[in-house]
């Protein structure tokens, strides 16, 4: 990744923060986006001069477009976009869910992914290509009790990946999704606290560390992952875990 520039949304913690570290260690410039400016500023300071923190709400297209412009001004281009920002609230049965909270999940998890793509892809196309990685979920493909907003939003994000691949593969855009399974992050603590559905009953030891999806996202930028362009890479697949080097 030497000389490449990677923009990561939701970079203040969890998969996003660990991805910033992994990509920086691989030689990339990393641009960290999150609503929490203090958290990403601290992470950028930890990484050093190859990191740039931009406080940004992914649900605001103008803010996303400005973040991409700032990235290009600072590092000269944009090679990889990682759509990682996402929320799971409201964890609530559909008939009693708060409409405003439900809509906010769509704003972040669906519109935020589209806005990232819309801002980044023209820049990538003009430079001859790029990679767009979107963190998906098994919840994109089947319903889970009390997760109607999350399941619906992840299904929408998965379709955005497929749509981008259909429209832009011939223009050098590599669009892929990552379904990481359950990861030991704050989101899983919120799920655990809800006590609703089987996912909340999982023992903490069953969740994978955030480093695994971060390393997989790095692998997805390489040619070994070309077979999966336009599709989702699943960390429930042992063959993928071996190809990434997470297990032997």
**Coil, helix or strand for 31?**
strand
Catalytic annotation present for 150: yes
Task: Classify 5-244 by CATH class.
Answer: alpha beta
Q: What is the pLDDT of residue 208?
A: 76
pLDDT, tens digit, 9 for 90 and up, residues 191-217? 888 878 777 777 767 777 889 999 999
Q: What is the pLDDT of residue 184?
A: 65
pLDDT, tens digit, 9 for 90 and up, residues 130-187? 999 999 988 899 999 999 999 999 999 999 999 999 999 999 999 999 999 777 677 7
Q: Domain extents for the chain?
A: 5-244
**What is d(CA 122, CA 57) in angstroms, rounded to the nearest whole number?**
20
**What is d(CA 88, CA 205) in angstroms, rounded to the nearest whole number?**
21
> Percent of the chain scored above 70 by pLDDT?
99
Q: What pTM did the predictor assign? A: 0.94
Distances in whole angstroms, Cα of residue 236 to Cα of each of 62, 140, 188, 232, 242:
36, 14, 17, 11, 11
Q: Which residue has the higher pLDDT, 206 or 99?
A: 99
Catalytic residue among 115, 142, 150, 228: 150
């Amino acid at each position: 990744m030497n000389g490449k520039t990677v923009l990561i949304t939701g970079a203040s913690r969890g998969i996003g923060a660990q991805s910033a570290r992994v990509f920086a260690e691989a030689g990339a410039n990393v641009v960290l986006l999150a609503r929490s400016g203090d958290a990403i500023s601290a992470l950028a300071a930890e990484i050093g001069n190859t990191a740039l923190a931009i406080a940004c709400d992914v649900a605001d297209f103008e803010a996303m477009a400005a973040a991409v412009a700032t990235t290009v001004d600072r590092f000269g281009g944009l090679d990889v976009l990682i759509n990682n920002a996402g929320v799971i609230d409201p964890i609530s049965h559909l008939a009693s869910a708060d409409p405003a909270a439900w809509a906010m999940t769509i704003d972040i998890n669906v519109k935020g992914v589209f806005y990232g793509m819309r801002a980044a892809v023209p820049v990538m196309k003009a430079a001859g290509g790029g990679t767009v990685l979107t963190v998906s979920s098994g919840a994109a493909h089947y319903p889970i009790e009390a997760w109607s907003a999350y399941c619906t939003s992840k299904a929408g994000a998965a379709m955005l990946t497929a749509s981008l691949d259909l429209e832009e593969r011939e223009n050098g855009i590599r669009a892929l999704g990552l379904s990481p399974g359950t990861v030991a992050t704050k989101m899983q603590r919120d799920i655990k606290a809800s006590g609703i559905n089987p996912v909340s009953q999982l023992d903490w030891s069953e969740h994978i560390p955030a480093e695994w999806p971060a390393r997989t996202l790095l692998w997805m930028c390489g040619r070994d992952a070309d077979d999966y362009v336009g599709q989702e890479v699943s960390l429930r697949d042992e063959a993928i875990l071996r190809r990434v080097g997470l297990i032997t």
